[in-house]
Structures are given as C-alpha cells and as structure tokens.
C-alpha cells in the first residue's frame, strides 16, 4: 500500500536551507559517542556509561583485559571479539583504546589490508605491530628562553676572498621575568633566526647543544586591543634565561624503522627522530629491526627511554590466510609484542589459503588457543532505541513524537546500522519540508527509498532463484 507521501512527491534535488558558520558542527564519526567502556571502579558495567549501550558482559570482560594490559600481564595472548555484524565489536576495541589512554599507541587495520601489491603480507603485519609499540623518550636539555630585546649581527672582512663582508657572530639579548642576558652566538644560529623571521619582541627558544631556534610567539607586551589578530601572543617566560628543561617525546618503533631505512643526519636517537619523513612504502629487513631493538634496549637500560606497548586491532580477521596466521603466532611470541585484538563475524568457515581446513571463525586452532574470546550479543528493541536517541543527540537531530519507537522497531526487524543510517536522510527530508523535527512520515519515506539488506535479498531471490536481478537474453543461434 502506497504511503501518503507518495501522492505529494518531494523535490529531492532541492537545496536545504544554508547553515550559518556559527552553527556548523564538526564531522561526526560512527563511533564518536564512545568515550570508554563505562565501568564502575569495581569493574561492573553501568547501563549506558561512557556512551556505551548494552553489551554488559562483553564490556566487563574487556575491563578485565584492560587491567591485564595495564599490569603488563597479557603478553603472548590475544583478545577475540565475536558476534553478528553491528553488535559493537569495533566500538569495544575503540573503548579499550580510550581506557588505556591517549598516550598508548592504537593501530587499527582490516584483514584485507595485507593483500598489497607493494609489500609482502607478512611485512604489512610486522609494520602494524611495530607501529603499535611506543617509545617514550626523556631528555634533559640546556636551553635559552626569553623575549628578544636586542639582535645585532657583527660583520667582518671575508677571509677567503677578501671582497665583501660576512657575519662573524650575532649578539642576542633575551629577557625573562627574573632578568636579562646577552648572548654571543654563532653565525649559523643567525641564519636560523632569519629563517624563522624572528624580530625584536618575539619570544624564542634556543637549544645550547644543537643551536636549534624556535619562535614561540610574540610577547604579550606588544598585544593591541584588536579583536582579531594574526599573531600569537605569549606571556614573558618565567625563571632565568638559561635553564634546564626535560623534554618528553613519543614515537613508535615503526617510526624508528622508517627513519633508519632512510638515515639522515646524526646517529643519536634524537637525530633519527628528526629525520622522519613521509615517503612511499618500503620493506624493512629483519636485520634492521634487530638493530633498532638493540639501540632501543640500550636507551631503556640507561633510563633515557621507556617502552609503551600499544594495541593492534585487526577487524575482519577471517580475511587473513594461513600464511598470515602462522606469522601472527611468531609475532605474538616475540619479546616486544603489543596487545592484539581480533574481531570477526564468522562461524565455522574455511581458513583462507587452504582447501580442507574448516575452523571456528576461520582462524586456525593453534591461534585460537592463544585467544581469550568475548562474545557480543544482539541488541534488543529497548537498547536500539537508546542508541538511536544517543546518536540523535550527538548529531544534533530532533525527533518528533513516535519516531524513536518507529526506529526501535525498525532496528529490531532489520539491524541497528540500517536504523542509524536512516537518521540523517530523514532529517534532510524534514528540512526540505520546512520542519525542524523528524516525523514518522520521514522515516517511512526513507525506508521506501533505501532498502535494508534482508528486504533487498528477498527481492532478488524472487527473480531467477536469486542468481540474477534481470533475465538473461536467450543465446543467439
């Protein structure tokens, strides 16, 4: 039976009203509402804590895994998330990363990413594992910091040619809250000052060992009363001009591998980090990785650096083949292995790369023995309604009377993902009709325009036994 909206067609090519820049929000990702696992201090899952709805047992199990990871007692094992599509496996992995903190590396990938024409499958896996192992480097440096009060280059005759003059040194005056200091610096530092476009009144930062110069900003003593400024104003630095600073930098072993594969500059670890550049993908040899591990171990023993094991999340892990699974066993046994999280929606299936090995979830049994398996449950109608309501709030959408119940019933009949995908198109339909709220008729119209997977498959099965959408023409004799 046709809906009432069919009698009054809507011009879908119409342009919605323009939105002012003040009300324009940032891009909303599918899992932007997930802020953590939503557990109590006792490890029990709250009803809808940290943006997570449902999956009580899975969240509590992941909470135990987070405690194991933080205590560094999860090495050599992996977490396997299993469940139907749209039951929150990726959300659980992201929640685990939130619980571990922003400083812990989190490297997500999909199983099909290993099939690259540039590098080997095992190299893609090894690179992901190395990018998930962080290195926190602490270094104490002697620096000069302050507001530039004087900058006088001193010239002398060129000793090489005898013609013209060259800068022999530069006098820099720096001022802080506690006092001032005059420095006599090398000409190379003057070139760096010119490159940074530093003038009197700027707050600068000069490293004593390397001579590196950085412009922090303009001193706030020069700030004017304009509402909009193109300049960044900073306060006058506190303390003495000459001071010792402890700098902390976070890199990954993958960054160090790439930097050593294309060495530039010195051999110390800070020079290696400074040589990080973006370029095409290249394979890193095991010999080079062993050398990097040896250098990192030396810095860890000296107390200069600290290894921070991160998380590798491999979604659709059943897409890997037997060669990748065998290599994963070796990676999990390595002494510098990150935490590994797998996710799959398959039951008993054939292991890729073989012709006769059928295994649970498409993963070989020897790797399954290393996994702690957590199952995700399907969402009930009430839980679907809560998720839809939460997403509507995150996306700034207003739901009219009866819409939430309609979407919850639709999600129970089809899937949660399909229901969430109807929200934004329905809001556009409501806007085109001059309404600020989504009404039930908007949901009905979008359900007719966009089919869910079950309905689409049912339509195709009714034509030629599900093989073809249209009949083939008879062959020409």
319-357 tens-digit pLDDT = 999 999 999 999 998 888 888 999 999 999 999 999 999
67-111 tens-digit pLDDT = 998 888 887 889 999 999 888 899 999 899 889 887 888 899 999
Tell me what pLDDT residue 274 has: 55
Tell me what pLDDT residue 120 has: 87
124-139 tens-digit pLDDT = 999 999 999 999 888 7
Q: Which residues of 143-166 are buried (b: 16+ CB within 10 A; e: fewer)?
A: bbbbbbeebebeeeeeeeeeeeee
CA–CA distance from 72 to each of 100, 149, 301, 309, 371 (Å)? 12, 51, 18, 9, 16
**Is-above-0.75 flag for pTM?**
no
CA dihedral 288, 293, 296, 302 (to 10 degrees): -130
Give the closest residue to 416 by CA, choosing from 88, 195, 73.
Answer: 88
Query: Which DSSP symbol is given to 438?
Result: B
Q: Mean pLDDT over all residues of the chain?
A: 82
Calpha distance 359→362 (Å, rounded): 5
172-227 tens-digit pLDDT = 999 998 888 988 888 888 888 888 888 899 999 888 878 888 888 888 888 775 65
Query: Higher pLDDT residue, 276 or 421?
Result: 421
Give the closest residue to 239 by CA, choosing from 131, 99, 143, 366.
Answer: 143
Residue 299's CB is within 10 A of a number of other CB atoms, namely 17
């Amino acid at each position: 039976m046709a809906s009432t909206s069919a009698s009054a067609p809507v011009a879908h090519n119409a342009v919605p009203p323009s939105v002012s820049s003040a009300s324009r929000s940032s891009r909303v990702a599918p899992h932007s509402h997930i802020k953590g696992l939503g557990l109590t201090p006792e490890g029990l899952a709250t009803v809808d804590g940290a943006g997570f709805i449902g999956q009580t047992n899975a969240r509590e199990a992941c909470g135990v895994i987070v405690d194991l990871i933080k205590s560094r007692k999860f090495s050599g094992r992996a977490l396997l998330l299993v469940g139907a599509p749209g039951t929150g496996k990726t959300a659980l992995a992201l929640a685990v990363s939130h619980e571990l903190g922003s400083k812990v590396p989190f490297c997500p990938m999909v199983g099909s990413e290993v099939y690259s024409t540039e590098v080997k499958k095992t190299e893609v896996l090894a690179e992901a594992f190395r990018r998930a192992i962080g290195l926190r480097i602490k270094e104490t440096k002697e620096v000069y910091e302050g507001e530039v009060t004087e900058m006088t280059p001193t010239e002398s005759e060129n000793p090489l040619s005898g013609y013209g003059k060259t800068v022999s040194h530069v006098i820099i005056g720096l001022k802080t809250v506690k006092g001032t200091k005059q420095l006599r610096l090398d000409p190379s530092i003057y070139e760096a000052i010119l490159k940074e476009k530093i003038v009197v009144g700027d707050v600068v930062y000069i490293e004593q060992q390397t001579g590196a110069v950085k412009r922090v900003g303009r001193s706030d003593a020069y700030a004017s009363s304009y509402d909009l400024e193109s300049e960044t104003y900073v306060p006058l630095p506190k303390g003495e001009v000459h001071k010792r600073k402890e700098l902390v930098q976070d890199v990954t072993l993958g960054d160090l591998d790439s930097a050593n594969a294309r060495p530039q500059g010195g051999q110390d670890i800070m020079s290696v980090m400074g040589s990080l550049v973006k370029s095409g993908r290249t394979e890193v040899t095991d010999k080079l990785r062993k050398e990097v591990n040896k250098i990192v171990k030396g810095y860890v023993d000296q107390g200069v650096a600290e290894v921070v094991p991160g998380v590798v999340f491999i979604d659709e892990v059943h897409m890997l083949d037997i060669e990748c699974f065998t290599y994963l066993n070796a990676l999990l046994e390595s002494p510098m292995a990150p935490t590994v999280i797998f996710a799959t929606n398959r039951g008993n299936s054939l292991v890729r790369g073989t012709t006769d090995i059928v295994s649970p979830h498409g993963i070989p049994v020897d790797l399954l023995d290393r996994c702690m398996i957590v199952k995700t449950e399907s969402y009930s109608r009430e839980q679907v309604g809560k998720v839809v309501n939460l997403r509507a709030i995150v996306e700034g959408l207003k739901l009219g009377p009866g819409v939430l119940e309609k979407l919850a019933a639709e999600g129970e009949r089809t899937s949660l993902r399909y229901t969430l995908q109807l929200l934004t198109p329905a809001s556009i339909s409501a806007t085109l009709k001059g309404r600020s709220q989504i009404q039930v008729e908007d949901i009905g119209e979008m359900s007719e325009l966009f089919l869910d997977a079950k309905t689409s498959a049912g339509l195709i099965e009714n034509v030629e036994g599900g093989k073809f959408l249209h009949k083939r023409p008879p062959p020409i004799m």
